């Protein structure tokens, strides 16, 4: 399962911000390139952790990502970690599998939910359109599954 992630240069982010009538401040450019570099959904805390050199507090990051989400520049994802995660929206529509043990995240490329969406609309009494959906998968990754088996084996001896 691979996703083709676009490789936007800082110049592209400048254009992206202007396109959404946002000033291309160093902090905004830095956040966008951090999101691109990280390449998977990241929380505000982790983003803040990685941006220590840039004197931006968490409240500012929170506001910034709120604006980015509103504009459709980033996508907010609920990984059930108790706080929101964010990733660049420009990387194409995809879903995620999240390990319930260690939190590992893998992108799932492609999406076959269109028939389901049409079916949902057909049965809906109050909706005539669905604009977006967010579906995440939760499971156990291979290393955690192996560790689990090892633990089970050693505890049954
Ligand atoms: Zn895991
Ligand atoms: Zn993703
Ligand atoms: Zn989808």
Token pair 């049965």 is at which residue?
A: 123
Is the CB of residue 97 less than 8 Å from the CB of residue 139? yes
d(CA 23, CA 11): 13
Query: Which pLDDT tens digit goes with each residue over 61-102?
Result: 999 999 999 999 999 988 887 888 999 988 788 899 999 999
C-alpha of residue 60 to centroid of ligand 3, in Å: 30
Section 144-148 average pLDDT: 95
C-alpha of residue 126 to centroid of ligand 2, in Å: 31
C-alpha of residue 96 to centroid of ligand 2, in Å: 6
- The overall average pLDDT reported for the chain is 88
The pairing of strands 95-99 and 105-108 is: antiparallel
C-alpha of residue 117 to centroid of ligand 3, in Å: 10
DSSP 62-128: HHHHHHHHHHTSEEEE--SSSS-EEEEGGG-S-EEEEETTT--EEEE-----HHHHHHHHHH-SS-S
Section 3-31 average pLDDT: 82
Section 125-135 average pLDDT: 90
C-alpha of residue 39 to centroid of ligand 3, in Å: 18
Residue 77 phi, psi (nearest 5):
-125, 135
What are the structure tokens assigned to 124, written together? Answer: 């809906």
């Amino acid at each position: 399962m691979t996703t083709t992630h676009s490789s936007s240069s800082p110049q592209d982010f400048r254009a992206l911000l202007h396109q959404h009538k946002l000033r291309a401040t160093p902090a905004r450019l830095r956040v966008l390139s951090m999101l691109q570099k990280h390449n998977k959904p990241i929380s505000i805390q982790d983003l803040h952790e990685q941006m220590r050199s840039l004197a931006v507090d968490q409240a500012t990051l929170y506001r910034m990502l709120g604006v980015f989400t509103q504009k459709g520049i980033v996508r907010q994802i609920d990984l059930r970690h108790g706080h929101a995660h964010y990733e660049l929206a420009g990387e194409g529509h995809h879903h995620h599998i999240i390990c319930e043990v260690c939190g590992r995240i893998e992108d799932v490329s492609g999406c076959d939910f269109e028939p389901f969406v049409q079916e949902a609309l057909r049965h809906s009494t109050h909706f005539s359109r669905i604009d977006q959906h967010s579906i995440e998968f939760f499971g156990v990754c291979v290393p955690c599954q192996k560790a689990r088996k090892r633990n089970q084996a050693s505890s049954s001896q």
